[in-house]
Structure 1
Amino acid sequence: MVAALTFAAGCTVFGLAAPAAAAVPATIPLTFTNNSGRADQVYVYDIGTQLSTGRQGWADASGAFHAWPVGGNPPTPAPDASIAGPANGQSMTLQLPKFSGRIYFSYGQKLVFKLTTGGLVQPAVQNPTDPNRDILFNWSEYTLNDAGLWINSTQVDMFSAPYAVGVKAPDGTTKSTGHLKPGGYNGFFSALRGQPGGWANLIQTRSDGTVVRALSPGHGIESGALPATVMDDYVSRVWSKYAGSTLTVTPFADQPNTTYYGRVSGNVMNFTNGSGAVVTSFQKPDADSIFGCYKLLDAPNDLVRGPISRALCAGFNRSTLLANPNQPDTSSANFYQDAVTNQYARKIHAQMADGKAYAFAFDDVGNHESLVNDGNPQRAYVTLDPFS
């Protein structure tokens, strides 16, 4: 069973709870390669939660842990946790400790981190006053623990500087994900600009004209860049359909007999089990709940509501709920076919070399996420890819 590990400002990555047969060392090497084609100085950060103690902090290039000092209110500057990254065409080796965290990288400028009494304040560029708003940066999420390494390429919060991740297994093979198709970086932004309905407003540029990112649609709603009503038509059609028919959710691929049945009554979709007892209910969701897979589509770490919510969230984002009354629909050929859909996620997946991405929180439903893992990792990789 996969267990969520949360750190700092709420980033969630995944790792197995049970220990592996082979012992994972205290640190593993990470090869960080700069193939970006850019001349900017790159800065690298390894921040997160130390799994042995639960303390928040950062790791230096040797993998040594440094706890954050106590912050303040208002927030106080965090210690400089940056590591000078390799020049274009070069590589360097870092040591990853047992963390649940993020590997940030930025171009040309160091990121601004601050500390409150509750911990680290991470970049939140949907806020126009965030000091990192005009910095070109991105991050990977990872968990390294006694059961192995899980490392992803994520676009849950934004699409920005291109990169890929990888892990080397004991047999010498390397699994990687996150690479874009040739021309995929510019292709994504061109496609988003051409999408009517406010989607182009997700793109952020700085004063010199450089495109720095596209916000995820949830952050777009939060910042006013995307209309909050963008999914209303689809939601209303789903609610109308299942007022008169049944939505069947079989949340576990390995448990085909665990099935729940959804029917709409007024503003609520009630799910019953095979005995007809109501096990959970969902209010009619808004776009923010859909894109964030939270609020009205909250997914607690349980065995009933959470798994049903995951299937609903994926179905709304991929617009498969009307076409298929049996969920989750895990065939990518059926995704994003409705005119009302998560256009951001659609356009990201279209540009990925392997079709995989973390364009929304539960993009792993059906294994469509950009994640690699190994129970006995020999080495990890982060590769900064070309922009053109």
Structure 2
Amino acid sequence: MLRTLRSRLAAAAGAAALVGTLLTLGPPAQAAVPAAVPATVPLKIINNSGRGEPLYVYNLGTLLTTGQQGWADANGTFHAWPAGGNPPTPAPDASITGPAAGQSATIRIPRFSGRIYFSYGQKLVFRLTTGGLVQPAVQNPSDPNRNILFNWSEYTLNDAGLWLNSTQVDMFSAPYSVGVQRADGSTVSTGRLKAGGYNGFFNALRGQAGGWANLIQTRSDGTVLRALSPLYGIETGALPRTVLDDYVNRVWQKYATSTLTVTPFADQPGTKYYGRVSGGVMNFTNGSGAVVTSFQKPDADSVFGCHRLLDAPNDAVRGPISRTLCAGFHRSTLLVNANQPDTTSAGFYQDAVTDHYARAIHAQMADGKAYAFAFDDVGHHESLVHDGSPLQAYLTLDPLG
């Protein structure tokens, strides 16, 4: 499972629709900090964007030792959010002045499960409800951040080390890469686009029939701000709700007369589940023939969000099967391989009906890795770096064009 922020808490009635989604609560309190993982880790922000506007950085998350939501300043000092309201109230200004173009600056990140936001030219607007922080939700036309060029990275720092990833689960926007310096001094990084990859991605969407170009949001001055994920495309009407129906129907037809075998754990090859469609429902059985979980035929919303009819609870059976199915639908591998997950990327996105957003993102990444949907880590195709004893982390902001 992805170790960073993925699930969302529901906002108070009307609040989420107004502003955005709530920051998740973190995992239970951690054990005592071992010497190998300090209380804070330096994060070097390298501004290679070439943009002349001011850069603002935010370090927001949940403190792992207490479960408190809050923000950290440049020194890594934690500040808890004050109580919010309904309607939402303005959050304290948590911005950190970022380095100018061609410069770098180092901040410290504490033991958070959180996000590093960055924005060009304008500060982001955050608000607080009685349930916590409301984050930007630019799929909403009235969101105050809609015309701001921004993006974010996600991370978890705990007693097992640092996990840091680039993400396009919600949107594809201002490009960046992430890296970590390991205890032996070596550095690993991921998330960098190929040369011309930023424009290449948007051109791929523009050239894809079926409404995929409608995911792109452009500011009145002509600046291309982002492309929404297909989940938000469905929610906003940019993509038709029937966009995946043909593929889903073919999958359901195939496994009415054949068996889909799911081996969800790479380190447990003997754990297998067998799916067959009966009465419109895909039932999964274990090796003894007992039904362990069942799935209704999913719609595009369920596939793109890996939720609803493809819900993936944090358990040992349904969740692992569901995330395998979700990855197979996104990558359109379920018809060509009855043994899932299919982890060899050569066969991904080959059907005419597929997740063209994820296809275009992966095609433009220098190492082929990305978090284009929530379970892109199935088969280790995610843009994630990890080290158990990190010396330093990196966030490198790259040019748009």
Q: TM-score range by the shorter chain?
A: over 0.9
When residues 2 and 359 of structure 1 are mapped into structure 2, their CA distance, relative to the original with a 3 A threshold, is closer
CA 1:110–1:3: 2 relative to 1, 3 Å = closer
Deviation at 1:209, TM superposition (A): 1.2
Partner of 2:212: 199
SS of the residue corresponding to residue 122 of structure 1 reads strand
Q: Secondary structure in 2 aligned to 1:71?
A: coil
Match among 256, 262, 283 for residue 243 of structure 1: 256
Per the alignment, residue 315 of structure 1 pairs with 328
Letter in 2 for 1:227: P
Look up the match of 1:89.
102
Which of 110, 120, 126 is equivalent to 1:113?
A: 126
Q: Cα–Cα, structure 1 residues 63 and 109, in superposed 2: closer, same or farther, change >3 Å?
A: same
Amino acid at match of 1:114: R
Q: Does the alignment pair 1:28 with 2:41?
A: yes
Q: Secondary structure at the match of 1:112?
A: coil
Counterpart of 1:102 in structure 2 is: 115
- Distance, in Å, in 2 between the alignment partners of 1:122 and 1:64 is 21
Q: 1:158 to 1:265 in 2, by over 3 A?
A: same
1:64 is aligned to 2:77:
yes
Q: Please say if residues 3 and 14 of structure 1, whose CA atoms lie closer than 8 Å, have aligned partners that are also in contact.
A: no
Amino acid at match of 2:375: F
Instruction: For residue 14 of structure 1, report the CA deviation from its aligned partner.
Output: 9.9
- Aligned match of 1:42: 55
Q: 1:376 aligns with which of 389, 392, 401?
A: 389
Deviation at 1:337, TM superposition (A): 0.5
**Partner secondary structure for residue 321 of structure 2:** helix
Structure 2 CA distance for partners of 1:80 and 1:4, relative to 1, 3 Å: closer
- Is it true that 1:340 corresponds to 2:353 in the alignment? yes
Letter of the 1:221 partner, please give it: I
* Inter-partner Cα distance in structure 1 for 2:60 and 2:276: 44
Alignment match, 2:297? 284
Which residue in 2 is equivalent to 1:351?
364
The answer on whether the counterparts of 2:36 and 2:389 sit within 8 Å (CA) in structure 1 is yes
Q: Map residues 257-336 of structure 1 onto 2, 5 A cutoff.
A: 257-336=270-349
After the TM superposition, which segments of 4 or more aligned residues of structure 1 sit over 4 Å from their partners?
Answer: 1-8, 10-15, 17-22
Q: Structure 2: how far apart are the matches of 1:378 and 1:289?
A: 40
Q: Is the contact between residue 14 and residue 150 of structure 1 (CA under 8 Å) also seen in structure 2?
A: no
Letter matched to residue 374 of structure 2: A
**Which residue identity lines up with residue 124 of structure 1 in the other structure?**
A
Call closer, same or farther: CA 1:234–1:19 in 2, change over 3 Å: farther
Assess, with a 3 A threshold, how the Cα gap between structure 1 residues 350 and 2 changes in structure 2: closer, same or farther.
closer
Matched, 1:214 2:214: no
Task: Give the letter for the 1:46 counterpart.
Answer: N
State the secondary structure of the residue aligned to 2:200: helix
How do residues 179-194 of structure 1 correspond to structure 2 at under 5 angstroms?
A: 179-194=192-207
Conserved in 2, the CA contact under 8 Å of 1:13 and 1:141? no
Matched, 1:135 2:148: yes
Deviation, 1:266, is 2.1
Would you say 1:360 and 2:373 are equivalent positions? yes
Tell me the residue number matched to 2:178: 165
Counterpart-to-counterpart distance in 2, 1:378 and 1:56: 25
Aligned residues: 387
CA deviations on 1:15-61 (whole Å, 9 max, x unpaired) are 9x898975311111110110001101000000000111110000000
Taking structure 1 as the reference length, the TM-score comes to 0.97
Give 1:256's aligned residue. Answer: 269
Q: Is the 8 A contact 1:75 1:115 kept in 2?
A: yes
CA distance in 2, matches of 1:18, 1:252: 27
Alpha-carbon separation, structure 2, partners of 1:105 and 1:227:
31
**SS of alignment partner, residue 136 of structure 2:** coil
Shift of 1:253: 0.8
**TM-score normalized by structure 2?**
0.94
Residues 369 and 20 of structure 1: is their aligned pair in 2 closer, same or farther, counting only changes over 3 Å?
Answer: farther
CA contact (8 A) 1:107 1:137 kept: yes
Give the partner amino acid of 2:258. S
Contact 2:33 2:39 in 1 (8 A): no
Gaps spanning 5+ residues in structure 1: where? none
In 1, Cα distance between equivalents of 2:62 and 2:80:
9
Q: What SS is found at the alignment partner of 2:276?
A: strand
In the superposition, relative to structure 1, how do residues 13 and 334 fare at CA in structure 2: closer, same or farther (>3 Å)?
Answer: farther
Say what the alpha-carbon RMSD is for the aligned residues.
1.8
